[in-house]
Structure 1
Amino acid sequence: MQTPRPQKLVIAISSRALFDLAESHQVFESEGLQAYSEYQIANEDNILAPGEAFGMVKKFLRINERLDTQRVEVILLSRNSADTGLRVFNSINHYGLDITRAAFTGGSSPYRYILPFNAHLFLSTDADDVAHALEHGVAAATLMTTSKPASENEQLRFAFDGDAVIFSDEAEQVYKAQGLAAFAQSERDAAKTPLSGGPFKSFLAALHGLQDEFKGQECPIRTALVTARSAPAHERVIRTLRAWNIRIDESLFLGGLSKGAFLKAYGADVFFDDQQINCESASGHVATGHVPHGIANRPALVGSNGEKSELNTDNQQNHS
């Protein structure tokens, strides 16, 4: 009986995340769709500069060369039409990226094609498309602009926040409703009870499975948990990953310290976090994806006194 072939790990990415389309997008914003189409066709032989996710994609596709089989795939999802998208494919060919599948949706949201392509992760610069993907159970993040160059490390290094990214936001809900002391006590009480999975659990599991194929040799993928949790809230996280049988290579429990310098030291190719304030800080150091999931991304409730029921954002980094 033959061993079944492992499932491919698939990343779906928007054209604006893969390439720098800021100039042509400005044409669209200022002059409209027709002018944008004419601009792209007139410049279709002018190669686009790399975008926020270009370095990550390039490293990701090299994994197939290491394994001598197609175990990973990148799918292009674009709001361009096929006609205006020709410039994107010309740029893909110029850089030698092995990307052959694409959906050009002519202005409509491409998120509906994520599931048919069996994508584990969707990266885009469009927050609405990302939100739709998350609603349909796909790990997704909105890539933020950074002026920092991509990591020169040959390894592909992913970094993840914990609550509302790898894990559910159940602990964060306690913090939001009752404060830090209640959160810490709740996590102590539930230390041996695994957390539920968050939107990136399946993607992390798929990465872990791919890493296992490099046993006995240097792995081209490295993962890190970078969380503002600290002791004693660390134990539940460790036991949860153990219960899931998922290994993370590095775990940083920062106790509320700003994450940016640690992400730079780690050499992250991309970092995923649900808190906008953390993403803005991290994007000054590494490519960063905002995951608009969980209680931190819900509209604040207004109480009977007319005040918003949310906590001071200066304290929000003490657990997530």
Structure 2
Amino acid sequence: MLQQKLIVAISSRALFNLDASHHIFETQGMEAFCRYQIEHENEILDPGFGFALVKKFLDLNSAFPAQPLVEIILLSQNSADTGLRIFNSINHYGLAISRAAFTSGVSPYAYIPAFGADLFLSANAGDVRKALAAGYAAATIIAGATANTSEQLRIAFDGDAVLFSDEAETIYQQHGLAAFTDNERKHAHQPLPGGPLKGFLSALHRIQTHFDQQNLAPIRTALVTARAAPAHERVVRTLRAWGIRIDEAIFLGGMDKGPFLQAFGADIFFDDQKGHCESAELHQITAAHVPHGVKNQS
């Protein structure tokens, strides 16, 4: 059934490189943009930042062809008319994407719950902020890289304000590291509230349970966090309380995340701070910004 799948919604600009047509839209307006797309609708688009990730998600379905585990939904601000070029490109690359919403310039985030999407990936930061404000898991793809050559899909997450709420991060920002550490030690047995991507991680975990973990599972997850001991304990106990297994946990104590993401071989990394996303990009890791929490309130 549809609701049992992992469902990822992606924008057309995250899936394909639409820089040329987007530049025309910004400089010449909607009419010129529509004319350009129609004139070039038989020209295949180059892959965008999220293309390799989508390809790996769809490849997971080869293990269960009768009941696919993953579905990709297209959410696009194009019109149905200009969207023909996008579907021509989807067909060219053999991507199994059949469901879509074309909204003719209006933010498509309202269709996230209608499709039952566990995550919305977009190149439009405004759309992502609207989705997060409405309570939906979303991230802005701000950097791309060549995909990890392994067939395994590897996804890395920051902790606070991404998988977890920004409750502890707020204490750190307002009162400093000592207060943060003291708070986490005192509340080590109290699970952290969930953050915007908790549901997505839960859906990934659900997919992982279909595979034998003694062999090479097709999905591997990692928590890559600036936390260090003793603040690690609350994280471990929180994931245990949620009933979610995460394959690797890396507690960096403030070290640069980029080299560790490279060592993990992440296909994508989600973080609430753009600086960490930029570090990932420097190490050839596709990065997605989650503009949530105290660090993004301004």
TM range (shorter): over 0.9
Amino acid at match of 1:44: E
Q: Which residue of 2 aligns with 1:97?
A: 95
User: Mean alpha-carbon deviation: is it higher for 220-229 or for 271-280?
Assistant: 271-280
Distance in 2 (CA, whole Å) between partners of 1:135 and 1:120 is 15
Distance in 1 (CA, whole Å) between partners of 2:49 and 2:27 is 23
Structure 2 counterpart SS, 1:172: helix
Q: Which residue of 2 aligns with 1:199?
A: 196
Q: Which residue of 2 aligns with 1:256?
A: 254
User: Mean alpha-carbon deviation: is it higher for 111-120 or for 280-289?
Assistant: 280-289
Question: What are the within-5 Å matches in structure 2 for residues 168-187 of structure 1?
Answer: 168-187=165-184
Match of 1:164 among 154, 161, 165: 161
Amino acid at match of 2:26: E
Q: Is the 8 A contact 2:3 2:116 kept in 1?
A: no
Deviations 1:272-304 (A, max 9, x none): 0011221222222211110011111112xxxxx
Deviations 1:174-216 (A, max 9, x none): 1111111110111111111111111111110111011000125
> C-alpha displacement at 1:218, in angstroms?
2.9
Deviations 1:70-117 (A, max 9, x none): 221000000000111100000000000000000000011100111100
Match of 1:135 among 133, 152, 156: 133
Q: Which residue of 2 aligns with 1:115?
A: 113
Unaligned runs of 5+ in 1: 300-320
Distance in 2 (CA, whole Å) between partners of 1:228 and 1:107 is 38
Q: Which residue of 2 aligns with 1:228?
A: 226
Deviations 1:234-282 (A, max 9, x none): 1110111011110000111111111111111111111000112212222
Amino acid at match of 1:220: P
Amino acid at match of 2:102: F
Question: What are the within-5 Å matches in structure 2 for residues 3-42 of structure 1?
Answer: 7-42=4-39
Distance in 1 (CA, whole Å) between partners of 2:288 and 2:153 is 15
Deviations 1:3-30 (A, max 9, x none): x997111000000000011111111112
Q: Which residue of 2 aligns with 1:315?
A: none
Deviations 1:118-161 (A, max 9, x none): 00000001111111111222110011033x31211111111000
Match of 2:62 among 65, 79, 96: 65
Which of structure 1's runs of 4+ aligned residues deviate more than 6 A?
none
Match of 1:82 among 80, 104, 109: 80
Distance in 2 (CA, whole Å) between partners of 1:48 and 1:150 is 18
> C-alpha displacement at 1:217, in angstroms?
4.4
Given the two structures, how large is their TM-score scaled by the length of structure 1?
A: 0.90
- Is 1:153 matched with 2:150? yes
Amino acid at match of 1:113: Y
Q: Which residue of 1 aligns with 2:295?
A: 296
Count of residues paired in the alignment? 295
Distance in 2 (CA, whole Å) between partners of 1:256 and 1:265 is 17
Amino acid at match of 2:222: A
Match of 1:212 among 209, 213, 227: 209
State the structure with more CA Rg: 1
Q: Which residue of 2 aligns with 1:277?
A: 275
Amino acid at match of 2:38: I
Distance in 1 (CA, whole Å) between partners of 2:168 and 2:203 is 24
Structure 2 counterpart SS, 1:74: strand
Amino acid at match of 1:198: G
Given the two structures, how large is their TM-score scaled by the length of structure 2?
A: 0.96
Q: Which residue of 2 aligns with 1:312?
A: none
Q: Which residue of 1 aligns with 2:242?
A: 244
Q: Is the 8 A contact 2:15 2:47 kept in 1?
A: yes
> C-alpha displacement at 1:61, in angstroms?
0.5
